[in-house]
């Protein structure tokens, strides 16, 4: 389909007439007041409540499954348990710090 041909002269005359009207309005108002940009809202992040963490020693197998948990002060017991499971089982076990 063919597009409608725009008459550029008519468009320019209409634009110039609008500019003259704006200039006349500003002269009658006295001082031209610039338009204010809308106030920008800040995106405040929601405060997260920090839950207290507690440290434990965890005994894990090779597939990173937790086998046992020990208090932080019981590191020796956790090492013993990992050694026992490593000797009797097929895969070795290790001790790692866990925070809950």
pLDDT digits (tens, 9 = 90+) for 34-56: 778 888 888 888 888 878 899 99
Quick one: CA dihedral 19, 21, 25, 28, positive or negative? positive
**Is 16 domain-assigned?**
no
Indicate whether 72 belongs to any domain: yes
**Residue from 89, 82, 36 nearest 60 by CA:** 82
Whether 33 is in a domain gets the answer no
Number of domains in the chain: 1
Find the domain containing 83 and state its range: 55-99
Q: Which of 23-32, 53-62, 82-91 has the lowest mean pLDDT?
A: 23-32
Task: Specify if 47 maps to a domain.
Answer: no
49 lies in a domain? Answer: no
Does 8 map to a domain?
A: no
Query: Model's pTM, two decimal places?
Result: 0.49
Asked if residue 11 belongs to a domain, the reply is: no
Looking at the domain assignment, is residue 82 inside a domain? yes
């Amino acid at each position: 389909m063919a597009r409608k041909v725009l008459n550029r002269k008519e468009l320019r005359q209409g634009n110039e007439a609008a500019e003259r009207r704006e200039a006349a309005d500003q002269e009658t108002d006295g001082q031209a007041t610039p338009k204010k940009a809308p106030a920008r809202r800040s995106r405040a992040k929601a405060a997260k409540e920090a839950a207290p963490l507690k440290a434990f020693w965890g005994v894990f197998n090779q597939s990173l499954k937790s086998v046992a948990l020990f208090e932080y002060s019981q590191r020796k017991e956790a090492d013993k348990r990992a050694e026992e499971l490593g000797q009797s089982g097929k895969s070795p076990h290790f001790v790692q710090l866990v925070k809950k």
